[in-house]
Amino acid sequence: MTLQSGRDGESTPDGESRGAGRDPRPTRRGVLLGVGLVGLGGVLAGCSTAAVPYDANEAGVPPNGPAPGAMPSSGAMTSPAAPGSDAMSSSPSPRGGQARKKAKPKPKGTVLGAASDIPVGGGAIYTAAKVVVTQPASGQYKAFSAVCTHVGCLVNKVTSGTIGCPCHGSEFKITNGAVVAGPAPSPLPARQIKIVDDQVILL
The answer to whether position 161 is within a domain reads yes
The answer to whether position 190 is within a domain reads yes
Please confirm whether the linkage preceding 187 is cis (ω < 30° from 0).
Answer: no
The answer to whether position 93 is within a domain reads no
Backbone angles phi, psi at 150, to 5 degrees: -80, -70
Read off the pLDDT band of 56 (50, 70, 90): low
The mean pLDDT of the chain is 74
Q: What is the pLDDT of residue 127?
A: 93
Radius of gyration of the chain (CA): 48
**How far apart are alpha carbons 192 and 196 in whole angstroms?**
13
**How far apart are alpha carbons 35 and 47 in whole angstroms?**
19
Report the CATH number that the domain containing residue 125 is assigned in CATH.
2.102.10.10
The answer to whether the pTM exceeds 0.75 is no
pLDDT higher for 39 or 142?
142
Q: What is the pLDDT of residue 17?
A: 47
The answer to whether position 30 is within a domain reads no
The answer to whether position 104 is within a domain reads no
The answer to whether position 64 is within a domain reads no
Whole-Å CA distances, 110 to 84, 106, 176, 192, 203: 48, 11, 22, 11, 7
- 154: domain range? 118-202
The answer to whether position 148 is within a domain reads yes
**How far apart are alpha carbons 134 and 191 in whole angstroms?**
11
> 116-165 pLDDT, tens per residue?
999 999 999 999 999 999 999 999 999 999 999 999 999 999 999 999 99
Count of structural domains within the chain: 1
The answer to whether position 132 is within a domain reads yes
> 86-103 pLDDT, tens per residue?
544 455 555 555 556 666
